[in-house]
Chain A
Amino acid sequence: MSTPSDAQADVHEDLHERRHPQPWEYVKIALILAVLTAAEVAVSYMDVNHALQIAALLGMMVIKFVLVVLWYMHVRFDNPAYGRVFTLGITLAVVVYGVVLLCFGVFQK
């Protein structure tokens, strides 16, 4: 049970966040994202094993996704409740549509 004073403390923590990343940290993340995007494009042109190529592309996509969510959307620094809400939505989407695609045999091709 939270009291008004507890809530006020949480509000204060929420407003001022735990740590503000410095601009150079954002630039560093942007450079990593750019390198990953370039690597994705390079991999898409490679004549390698099809399954390996898809795995590499999806892996890099997930890393880019997580970097933007954690750093640019501040989930890493903000109140964990926001991240949980978003994770719930993503999980629901992945499970629901994953099952739909499985039922239609999309992954069997």
Chain B
Amino acid sequence: MEAGTAIERKDDHGAHYTSTGLPTVKVAMWIFLASETLLFGGLISTYLLYRGRSVVGPYPKDVFDIPYTSVSAFVLLASSLTMVLALGAIQRGEDHRFRIWIMATALLGLTFISGQIYEFTSFFHEGLAIDTNLFGSTFFTLTGFHGAHVTVGILMLMSLASLNSQGRVTKDNPIAVEMVGLYWHFVDIVWIIIFTVVYLIPTGSPHP
């Protein structure tokens, strides 16, 4: 095959392939996720850079409720399990079971987001806003971006359930489910890092 020439074909699963032998949409998704690691890497680094440098409160220890956030972390981890079970169901052609698992995933995602909204509201009532101090700015930016990603994921999950009901996402065309699944698991691994780095690791700051 000459350089620069790509063979493109579309198989009976509805996915496009090039001469690499890999579905283009899946390659694109992995490249997108790789680029997202740089986005979240930048946000997490900024949080670490300004960690313990706020000159006015509230400080992390004043507002964080670790048991509460731990429950949120469990909820998001559970949603990754329901997501893979949904993918397995559609690959086996079990549409009804797929819709149950995919809606369970969306529901767990909604629970997580509701928890985050409650957490943000309670922080605000305790005097922490995005412009209060360096902690507030970096914390709300990082977790807010993550929450926005979860929200987009929930919309995609609900769209999948709807498309499956219409017969547009089925056993013969499961690539969309796989792509949304990759995105959802990525959102989960970002939270794994945020939960440890932001919430669990003590600041070592002289502030209370």
How far, in Å, is A23 (CB) from chain B's closest CB? 6
- With a CB–CB cut-off of 8 A, which chain B residues contact A65? 189, 192-193
Q: A57-B196, A57-B201 are in contact. Are A37 and B34 (CB under 8 A)?
A: no
- With a CB–CB cut-off of 8 A, which chain A residues contact B48? 101, 106
Interface size counted on chain B using CB atoms at 8 A: 62
Within A4-31, which residues are at the interface with B (CB < 8 Å)? 4, 6-11, 13-15, 20, 23, 26-27, 29-30
Contact assessment for A54 and B201 in the assembled complex, using a CB-CB cutoff below 8 Å: yes
Find A10's partner among B1, B15, B21 (CB 8 Å cutoff).
Answer: B21
Contact assessment for B66 and A33 in the assembled complex, using a CB-CB cutoff below 8 Å: no
Contact assessment for B188 and A14 in the assembled complex, using a CB-CB cutoff below 8 Å: no
Contact assessment for B189 and A26 in the assembled complex, using a CB-CB cutoff below 8 Å: no
Within B24-77, which residues are at the interface with A (CB < 8 Å)? 26-27, 30-31, 33-38, 40-42, 44-45, 48-49, 51-52, 66-67, 70, 73-74, 77
Query: Which B residues form the contact surface with A (CB < 8 A)?
Result: 1, 7, 9, 11, 13, 15, 17-23, 26-27, 30-31, 33-38, 40-42, 44-45, 48-49, 51-52, 66-67, 70, 73-74, 77-78, 80-81, 83-85, 88, 91, 181-182, 185-186, 188-189, 192-193, 195-197, 199-202, 204
Query: Which A residues form the contact surface with B (CB < 8 A)?
Result: 1-4, 6-11, 13-15, 20, 23, 26-27, 29-30, 33-34, 37-38, 40-41, 43-45, 50, 53-54, 57-58, 60-61, 64-65, 68-69, 71-73, 79, 81-82, 85-86, 88-90, 92-94, 96-97, 100-101, 104, 106, 109
